[in-house]
Amino acid sequence: MSKLTHLDGDGNARMVEVGHKESTTRQAIAEGFIQLSEEAYQAVKNGEVPKGDVLRIAQIAGIQAAKKTSDLIPLCHPLQITGTKVLLSLETGNRIRAWARVRCMGQTGVEMEALTAVSGALLCVYDMLKAMDKAMAIGPVVLLEKTGGKSGDWSRT
């Protein structure tokens, strides 16, 4: 296991110093799912959710979530994101898939931003459908790949 970089030598929390690192193009892709009841799934599919277009509103929520990651995760650096794409799709088995790609030119990666984008989108779906389905289940939410930076590229597959 690698050294825990968010702790100093005395065990105190710290934001990692990245000022010495070279700025490189970085990208992260994440995905996650939410399981719905048949009723809720059909309402989304047929555009019959009283609060509006669930997939489009959740898409915007995901983009906003990516931009707010450092406000939500205490030791994340605020990043100058250069691009965010969030997609939601209806999947078999009454599931909705959220997918996010986040890019930046910076000194630290955007994995947390991609994961936060997916999580924010899925939480928005939950919020919009909770009146008709309180048993929805979110997960898994996973990092699919990341590129750039000193540690190099990584892919789940």
Asked whether the beta carbons of 34 and 128 are under 8 A apart, the reply is no
Per-residue tokens: 16: 């990692």
Q: Is 53 a catalytic residue?
A: no
Rounded CA gap, 114 and 69, in Å?
Answer: 9
Going from the C-alpha of 128 to that of each of 57, 58, 61, the distances in angstroms are 9, 9, 12
Residue with tokens 């979530």: 65
Annotated catalytic residue within 8, 53, 127, 133: 127
> What is d(CA 112, CA 11) in angstroms, rounded to the nearest whole number?
23
Contact 138, 32 (CB under 8 A): yes
**Cα 33 from chain centre:** 11
Cβ–Cβ contacts within 10 Å for residue 14, how many?
A: 12
- Positions marked catalytic: 127
